[in-house]
Amino acid sequence: MTTRRQVLRGAAFTALSYGRILGANDRLQLGLIGAGGRGRSVMGQFQKTGRVDVRAVCDVYSARIDEALTRAPGAKGFADHRRLIELKEVDAVLIGTPDHWHKDVCIDAFRAGKDVYCEKPLTRLREEGPEIVRACRVHGRIGQVGTQQRSGTVYLEARERFVKSGLLGKVSHVHCIWHGGPPRPLRLEPAEKPPNLDWARYLGPVKWRDWNPPQYFNFRAFLDFGGGKLTDFGAHWIDVVHMFMGMDAPLSAVAAGGVFHTFHDGRTAPDTISALWEYPGFTVNFESFSVPRAAEYHVEFLGEGGRLWINRNRYEFHPADKGAEPVIQKFPGDITYQHVQNFIECCRSRKPPNADVYIGHRSCQAVLLANQSYIEKRRIRFDGDREEVLPLGA
């Protein structure tokens, strides 16, 4: 019997007739949906390749469109992503909306025959992942998730040099931390909604509430719009664990934390979180605190052959053998640029991208299980083949 996982995994990377087939010298025609900080920054990386024209920009807040258009003169502006993806001249879209819109925009874009680079976390809810993967496969599109570590030379080289070579040896635990710096109060202004911001369209799939500035400007602090630090940062690090360990489904997840700082500003996402996953043969923990100290973020693999420490521009391998010299290597390149290049190449070759939507879905699934544990205050046991939480007592 073919399992649902096999169906979702079985990529159909063919360009269907309604998507333009890019020739080797064709420039990719891009649309940006969600022109906030990250959307505009990644758009810049696309432009830096010299192989892309930005043809359209969409945002629910027209001030953001105006900002993006200063860097993409001549592009069309839209308030509704459905109008942008109707454009025949657009080959691919970059999605930089908050997490609660990723699923709908991805699926609409795939249906319209567009390739998609969607920022991480791919999903806000666990059930959204299979829907996105299915739409990508059914419509024969390329779907890359913005977990840029997958294309980063620092990660690719470390995996070859220490994991695949066997030097790291059997790994029994992976320690991940991401401290985002000191806690900050939420933005409570402006009290009146800007007239050029479509609040109803911003809320989209989230239940209605009146204008609420932090829920727009600091959406990460609210579980209705995202998954807090576990999906914001944890989605990156668990993806690195999956990439290095060759496994993508935990057996169980447990997490504890809370809103412990004293701003009393209504936030619902924990500012302090610790999660622990069990995989076949090893455990992973992730912690993220808002503490008054410098930001710190890395993943550390503890193997029988040594300790591999890695972040976005450096790795260190400390061999277990007494007296053996550590290997320390720095990498100056921008891993998002490398990831964008991989996407553009795959739009041409129709080969699976480094962070295909199935990979993004499985990584997001793992962190969302930990969020479920945090909310339900219990250990979540998981069947990764069926993608189902096991009932209590099973």
Ligand X SMILES: NC(=O)c1ccc[n+]([C@@H]2O[C@H](COP(=O)([O-])OP(=O)(O)OC[C@H]3O[C@@H](n4cnc5c(N)ncnc54)[C@H](O)[C@@H]3O)[C@@H](O)[C@H]2O)c1
- Pairing label, strands 171-179, 296-303: antiparallel
| 253 interacts with ligand X by CB under 6 A | no
Max CA separation in the chain (angstroms): 66
Cα–chain center distance at 344: 18
What is the C-alpha separation between 143 and 136, in angstroms, rounded?
A: 7
| 146 interacts with ligand X by CB under 6 A | yes
- Least spacing, CB of residue 151 vs ligand X, in Å: 12
| 37 interacts with ligand X by CB under 6 A | yes
- Pairing label, strands 115-118, 143-145: parallel
Which residue is at the shortest CB distance from ligand X?
36
What is the C-alpha separation between 43 and 29, in angstroms, rounded?
A: 12
| 60 interacts with ligand X by CB under 6 A | yes
Helix (H) or strand (E) holding 235: helix 234-245
In order of 148, 173, 315, 361, the CA distances from 162 in angstroms are 20, 15, 11, 26
Q: Which of 61, 117, 162, 286 binds ligand X (CB under 6 A)?
A: 61
Q: Which of 29, 45, 97, 373 binds ligand X (CB under 6 A)?
A: 97
Give the nearer residue to ligand X in terms of CB position, either 63 or 324: 63
| 141 interacts with ligand X by CB under 6 A | no
| 98 interacts with ligand X by CB under 6 A | yes
| 108 interacts with ligand X by CB under 6 A | no
| 360 interacts with ligand X by CB under 6 A | no
| 99 interacts with ligand X by CB under 6 A | yes
Q: Which of 15, 52, 56, 58 binds ligand X (CB under 6 A)?
A: 58
In the structure, how many helices (H) and strands (E) does the chain have?
13, 16
The DSSP code sequence of 317-351 is EEESSTTPPPEEEE--S-HHHHHHHHHHHHHHH-P
Helix (H, G, I), strand (E, B) or coil at 240: helix
Give the nearer residue to ligand X in terms of CB position, either 39 or 306: 39
Give the nearer residue to ligand X in terms of CB position, either 183 or 213: 213
Q: Which stretch binds ligand X (CB under 6 A): 59-67, 185-193, 253-261, 359-367?
A: 59-67
- Least spacing, CB of residue 12 vs ligand X, in Å: 26
| 117 interacts with ligand X by CB under 6 A | no
Give the nearer residue to ligand X in terms of CB position, either 43 or 171: 43
- Least spacing, CB of residue 63 vs ligand X, in Å: 8
Helix (H) or strand (E) holding 156: helix 153-158
Q: Which two tokens stand for residue 60?
A: 């629910």
